[in-house]
Amino acid sequence: MLWSETKVKTTTVADTWTGRPTPPESCPEAADIVIIGGGIVGVSTAWFLARQGISVALCEKGFIAGEQSGRNWGWVRIQGRDPREVPMAIESLSIWRTLAEDIGEHVGFTEGGCLYTARNQKELASLEEWRDIARDFGLSTRLISGKDMTAQVGDAASQWVGGLFTSTDGRAEPHLAGPAIGRAAVRAGATLMTSCAVRGIETEGGRVSGVVTEHGTIRSSTVLCAAGAWSSRFCASLDIPLPQLQVRGTVVRTAPAESALQGNVFDQRIGIRRRQDGGFSIAHGTILDHSITPSTFRYAFKFLPALRQEIGSLRLSIGSDFLDDLKAPRTWALDRKSPFEEQRVLNPDPNPRVLAGIRKNLARTFPDLADVEFVEAWAGMVETSPDVVPIICDQPQLPGFFIATGFSGHGFGLGPGAGKAIAAMLTGNDVGIDLSAFKLSRFFDGSPIRPFSAI
């Protein structure tokens, strides 16, 4: 089917942030901690900090959850993760479970289960490997087939020999969760400013002394860069090399529809999950678009292992992004407009070919949904680290500067748990989540770069 026949409007992600001030009339003069970026990682960290009575100011150049955190599939899963992330993912899931009650707002969280399907015994054997990891962490993950598969997906079950299933994994609504956590942070005492780009950092005696925003300077000795897809550019302006590349993911939302399918299902052809509004959020199982830029070459060596692993899914292209990136300034004067004000919200167009592929694969995989209306489509820029695991650490050569980025396509589910762990890192506390595997230095100290084999 052609893209034009899918008759779906493309939209930007709606701004559901109703906090204040937007934009700020002036910034606070000082804060204990300043957070750059109002995605799920930034707002969750702000919430955990503010609840401890710490004065925290968060600056977001666009709107809360306007980029990845409001555009993702909405999966909250432990299944299939790199073992380094599992403890944080377990903590995150437990926060998601009571989040709506704790903040007094809906986030659309449901424990509907997560199923990865296998079309043959070889695929099943590779899924089985993760079951062994699950056992080490005491998770309920199991291999299912037959009647158990049918209970999850109805008649569609007959096309698979089995699957890996974690009943306690779930989903939440991205357009609700980030803004809701942000408002909870404000109620707890945090200051959140939207349309407020951070241009750079001020230092005194070699350590952080403040951030310069487009609306003024905030004095602070502790700054967290949670800038998602912009982190590499921000850090480069401080002479901190941070290897990061981007891929574009295209997603559709359907109208409400009857189906036996109630949870999250990942098949090679399709990733699909039930939405709170009765429809589905759907993406192609294996297509990710990467537009080649100078950064692709800059970081090619570090990304080779990930590239080798994902080569079948990547659709490489070269276009205007290459020249834009080439022309983009690496440093700028802090009293002038910065690149972060030039592009308030990364809002890539959905890929029409991918949309057509989603329509075709949906009909083949879930025939009962073949004619469901596609109501809207959008795309998001997924930022990724070389080993597809986050970067969460301090920056020893710039005391007071911390980084939390590189969530590599699965940071929405991790967000609240990461926020708790990052808040502890910033305040020197211990909440039992070991962050030592997430240091930026692992990409520069000769450690082997090994992306975990994503299932």
What is the C-alpha to C-alpha distance for residues 371 and 11, in angstroms, rounded to an integer?
21
Q: How far apart are CA 94 and CA 72, in angstroms?
A: 20
Question: Whole-angstrom Cα distance, residue 246 to residue 314?
Answer: 11
Indicate whether 61 belongs to the interface with ligand FAD (CB under 6 A): yes
Q: Does 67 bind ligand FAD (CB under 6 A)?
A: yes
Stretch 127-166 residues interacting with ligand FAD (CB under 6 A): none
Helix (H) or strand (E) holding 234, with range, is helix 231-236
Helices (H), 31-172: 40-50, 68-71, 86-103, 121-136, 146-153
CB of 390 to ligand FAD, least distance (A): 8
Question: Of 67 and 82, which CB lies nearer to ligand FAD in the complex structure?
Answer: 67
* Tokens 């096309």, located at residue: 159
Our finding on whether 263 is near ligand FAD (CB under 6 A) is no
To the nearest 10°, report the CA torsion of 427, 433, 436, 442.
-110
The total number of residues written for the chain in this structure? 455
Residue 306 beta carbon to ligand FAD: minimum distance, rounded to whole angstroms:
15
| CB nearer to ligand FAD: pick between 79 and 296 | 79
- Comparing CA positions, the residue from 312, 259, 255, 301 lying closest to residue 281 is 255
List the one residue from 62, 179, 386, 417 that touches ligand FAD (CB under 6 A): 62
Q: Which range binds ligand FAD by CB under 6 A, 2-10, 130-138, 406-414, 444-452? A: 406-414
| Number of other residues whose CB lies within 10 A of the CB of residue 421 | 28
**Least CB distance from residue 72 to ligand FAD, whole Å?**
3
DSSP reduced 3-state for 14: coil
Tokens 């026949």 sit at which residue?
A: 5
Among 226, 265, 377, 398, binds ligand FAD (CB under 6 A): 226
Report the candidate in 330, 414, 338, 246 with the shortest Cα–Cα distance to residue 61.
338
Tell whether residue 197 is a contact of ligand FAD (CB under 6 A).
yes
Count of residues near ligand FAD by CB under 6 A: 40
**Which residue, 149 or 235, is less far from ligand FAD as judged by CB?**
235
Distances (CA, A) of 243 to 223, 235, 264: 20, 10, 31
Q: How far is the CB of 184 from ligand FAD (least distance, A)?
A: 15
Question: Minimum CB separation from ligand FAD for residue 265, in Å?
Answer: 12
Nearer to ligand FAD, 162 or 390 (CB): 390
**80 lies in the binding site for ligand FAD (CB under 6 A):** no
Can you tell me the distance from the alpha carbon of 85 to that of 356, in angstroms, rounded to the nearest whole number?
34
Cβ–Cβ < 8 Å for 220, 211: yes
Q: Could you tell me if 369 and 401 are in contact, meaning their C-beta atoms sit under 8 angstroms apart?
A: no
> Whose CB is nearest to ligand FAD?
39
* CB-based contacts of 154, cutoff 8 Å, min separation 6: 259, 260, 261, 368
Stretch that binds ligand FAD, among 58-66, 123-131, 157-165, 369-377 (CB under 6 A): 58-66
> Residues 375-404 vs ligand FAD: string with x where CB under 6 A?
-----x-x----------------------
The interface mask with ligand FAD, positions 11-50, x = CB under 6 A, is: -------------------------xxxxxxx--------
The correct pick among 31, 48, 69, 166 for binding ligand FAD (CB under 6 A) is: 69
Residues at the contact surface with ligand FAD, assessed by CB under 6 A: 36-42, 59-62, 66-69, 71-75, 197-198, 226-230, 234, 249, 251, 340, 380, 382, 405, 407, 409-413
